Amino acid sequence: MDAADFFTAELAFRTDASDVQRDRPGLILLDCRGVDAWRQSHIPGAIHLPTREIATRAAAELPKDGRIVTYCWGPGCNGATKAALELAKLGYDVREMIGGIEYWQREGFPVETPQGNGGRRPDPLTTVVDTTRCGC
């Protein structure tokens, strides 16, 4: 495998928060964290399906014909990778959102919390603060 093959494969199976926000109408977002994390905050419209329950619940709860994007906490967590692997084994078209909900929030995208829907100001260390696109 050469560098071009590696990066082509990387882009085929991973995405980021900005691309998910842009492509959102055509995606199924799957939050694979536990119930306490889900309650704390999650992306509005996401489906909650913890990784440990994918094998038993996915067929009944996820459409086979959609593109699924998994997310977990952030770059220090490989939960989204584990969830994507489980879904891939079941034959789903799946991508992993790198950065997880941490970078979703750092880029200023909305979340649902017990207090309602909202978001935070974009973090200038992760995105351009005066636009919704990083330009890369």
Helix (H) / strand (E) containing 100: helix 100-106
pLDDT tens track, the chain, 136 positions? 799 999 999 999 999 999 999 999 989 999 999 999 999 999 999 999 999 999 999 999 999 999 999 999 999 999 999 999 999 999 999 999 999 999 999 999 999 988 877 777 776 666 767 765 666 6
- The active-site residue out of 72, 77, 134, 136 is 72
Known catalytic residue: 32? no
Q: Which domains are delineated in the chain?
A: 14-118 (3.40.250.10)
pTM: 0.89
Instruction: Write the Ramachandran bin of 80: left for phi over 0, alpha for psi from -120 to 50, otherwise beta.
Output: alpha
Three-class SS of residue 42? strand
